[in-house]
């Protein structure tokens, strides 16, 4: 028997070595062929070679053949990459708006507690020059780059104040700006339900959420809602820290499985929990991905929370950052992760996706059953399926058009110039006169106000014309067009219920910052309202 085992071990080792040699040979062959092609192009190609562009295009194409998340980051994009993964950058902490290249830079929204806010910059203030150089002739991107810089350095602005029109010099010391992951935390109207909206998973989130949860509980919280809608994820370590707040120490949160070299890792909570009994609700949608799905999947599998909303994105891949020559970086997929019940959240394939990139319909016949801690059935196949499905509001084509074309933004900037202050967020409402002012304002702006039905009609008529069928149906088509036609102002007026919340939110954040804007969101949030009315799952 021992001889047989030794023979099998030797055979296995031989196969592994042969496989490794084969992979290394193929890799070496590929590199050699690629180098030979580049050398021959350099010697013989008729025009000057765009070497940099060719190289980066080749790298991007190579990585795109793997998965959407393995990407090369050249040195020139390191700052943008840091902003993407860490939500940090060096600057003054304000969003800007530049309507024309030869115009001023308008402060659109300073962040709460930022250097810009501390220096007294307000929405509507116009920056005329940066460090003595006029902003006229600069694009919005170029202006933004001049405002950014190493923390601790000084930048000087010439500013025309929005209301007084006075031109003042405003020196600001740049800081490391970190956009908060917790956009809002507080008790809802009933005084017993705690609500927290989390938009990312960067360093320190777990500790901050733990602290805020304790504070809400001390204020009388009896039920907790964690809103992860639209949260694309971030650090796995912070997801584990969040789960640790609600489950016993040592609980399995997630398992990652990579190739033979990376292996398998089981991640457990290492901190003592804060609360093992309080009812929890997690809100998710198709924008909830990665670390959001780790938190949601773990608390669902451990029967610790009721998940409500719509199915999550379906990103069950783990990425790591690897340094490359010349200060580049490689964000590389190293493993797939699995929830405590054994589910892989990753979509079965990348081809069946919705328009927003989230996982599409997967028939049950292609999925597998798993069991939660108390025996409830959950399934894999892509994303986390909620315990209680609640569909969110789908915005109209006209609402998207008004926002995309900057009509709402332009109106809000105009509103700020005419109002020195507003009521607190909980008391702020757009008046009837202000709504009428928006209608008049929008009527003069350029945007496509056609309804979805009208755009379909236009496409249908075009195709009928191409097929030679339009003339024979002209009377019917003209009648339908007349029924669908609506003037711009009437089209906007018809969407009042949808547009007023958008306008109110944009106005409020200009005066009272982002957290106040979330208060407006909560006021009109149908999904949250239905979640609060829905019974929680019974764990037996």
DSSP string, 191-256: SSEEEEEE--B-TTHHHHHHHHHHHHHHTT--EEEEE-TT---B-HHHHHHHHHTTS-TT-EEEEE
Which has the closest alpha carbon to 338: 396, 373, 384?
A: 384
Among this protein's residues, is 467 annotated catalytic?
Answer: no
**3-state SS string over 180-203?**
CCEEEEEECCCCCEEEEEECCECC
The alpha carbon of 291 is separated from its chain's Cα centroid by a whole number of angstroms, namely 12
Among this protein's residues, is 199 annotated catalytic?
Answer: no
DSSP strand pairing (252-258 vs 223-227): unpaired
Pull the structure tokens for residue 268: 């457990």
| Stated length of the chain | 540
Give the dihedral of Cα atoms 12, 17, 23, 27; nearest 10 deg: 170
Among this protein's residues, is 104 annotated catalytic?
Answer: no
From the candidates 256, 286, 290, 292, give the one annotated as an active-site residue. 290
* Residue whose pair of structure tokens reads 């810009």 in the numeric block: 116
Do the beta carbons of residue 112 and residue 514 sit within 8 Å? yes
H-assigned helices in 367-431: 397-404, 407-418
H-assigned helices in 385-525: 397-404, 407-418, 432-444, 452-466, 474-484, 488-493, 496-524
Other beta carbons less than 10 A from residue 189's beta carbon:
10
Distance of alpha carbon 168 from alpha carbon 182, whole angstroms: 34
Q: Helix, strand or coil for residue 283?
A: strand
From the candidates 285, 301, 380, 525, give the one annotated as an active-site residue. 301
Burial 194-212 (b: 16+ CB within 10 A, else e): bbbbbbbbbeebbebbbee
Alpha-carbon Rg for the chain in angstroms:
28
* Residue whose pair of structure tokens reads 């006021």 in the numeric block: 523
From the candidates 87, 315, 358, 525, give the one annotated as an active-site residue. 315
Phi/psi for 322 (5° steps) reads -120, 135
Distance of alpha carbon 219 from alpha carbon 186, whole angstroms: 9
Q: Catalogue the active-site residues.
A: 290, 301, 315
């Amino acid at each position: 028997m021992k001889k047989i085992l030794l023979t099998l071990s030797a055979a296995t080792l031989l196969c592994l070595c042969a496989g490794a040699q084969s992979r290394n040979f193929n890799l070496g062959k590929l590199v050699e062929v690629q180098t030979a092609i580049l050398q021959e192009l350099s010697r013989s190609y008729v025009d000057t070679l765009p070497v940099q562009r060719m190289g980066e295009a080749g790298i991007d194409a190579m990585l795109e053949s793997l998965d959407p998340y393995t990407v090369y980051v050249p040195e020139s994009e390191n700052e943008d990459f840091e902003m993407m993964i860490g939500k940090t950058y060096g600057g003054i902490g304000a969003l800007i708006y530049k309507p024309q290249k030869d115009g001023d830079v308008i402060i659109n929204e300073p962040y709460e507690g930022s250097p810009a806010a501390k220096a007294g910059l307000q929405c509507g203030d116009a920056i005329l020059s940066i460090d003595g150089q006029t902003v006229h002739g600069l694009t919005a991107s170029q202006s933004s780059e001049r405002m950014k810089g190493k923390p601790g350095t000084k930048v000087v602005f010439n500013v025309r104040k929005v209301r007084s029109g006075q031109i003042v010099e405003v020196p600001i010391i740049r800081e490391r700006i970190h956009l908060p992951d917790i956009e809002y935390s507080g008790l809802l109207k009933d005084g017993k339900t705690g609500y927290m909206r989390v938009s990312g998973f960067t360093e320190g989130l777990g500790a901050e959420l733990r602290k805020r949860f304790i504070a809400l509980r001390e204020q009388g919280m009896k039920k907790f809602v964690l809103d992860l809608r639209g949260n694309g994820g971030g650090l796995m370590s912070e997801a584990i820290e969040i789960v640790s707040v609600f489950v016993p120490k040592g609980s399995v949160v997630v398992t990652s499985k990579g190739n033979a070299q990376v292996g398998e890792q089981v991640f457990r909570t290492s901190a003592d929990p804060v609360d093992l009994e309080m009812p929890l609700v997690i809100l998710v949608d198709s924008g909830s991905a990665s670390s959001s799905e780790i938190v949601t999947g773990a608390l669902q599998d451990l029967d610790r929370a009721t998940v409500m909303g719509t199915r999550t994105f379906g990103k069950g891949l783990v990425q790591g950052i690897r340094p490359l020559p010349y200060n580049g970086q490689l964000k590389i997929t190293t493993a797939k992760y699995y929830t405590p019940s054994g589910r892989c959240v990753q979509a079965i394939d990348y081809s069946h996706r919705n328009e927003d990139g989230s996982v599409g319909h997967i028939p049950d016949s292609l999925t597998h059953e798993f069991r939660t801690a108390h025996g409830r059935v959950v399934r894999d196949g892509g994303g986390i399926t909620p315990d209680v499905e609640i569909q969110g509001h789908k915005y109209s084509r006209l609402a998207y058009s008004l926002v995309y074309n900057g009509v709402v933004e332009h109106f809000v900037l105009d509103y700020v110039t005419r109002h020195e202050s507003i009521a607190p967020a909980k008391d702020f409402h757009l008046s009837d006169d202000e709504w009428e002012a928006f209608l008049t304002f929008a009527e003069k702006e350029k945007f496509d106000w056609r309804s979805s039905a009208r755009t379909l009609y236009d496409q249908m008529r075009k195709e009928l014309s191409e097929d030679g069928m339009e003339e024979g149906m002209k009377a019917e088509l003209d009648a339908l067009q007349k029924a669908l036609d609506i003037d711009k102002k009437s089209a906007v007026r018809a969407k009042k219920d949808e547009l007023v919340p958008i306008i109110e939110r944009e106005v409020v954040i200009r005066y009272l910052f982002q957290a106040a804007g979330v208060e407006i969101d909560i006021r009109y949030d149908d999904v949250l309202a239905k979640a609060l009315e829905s019974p929680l799952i019974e764990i037996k």
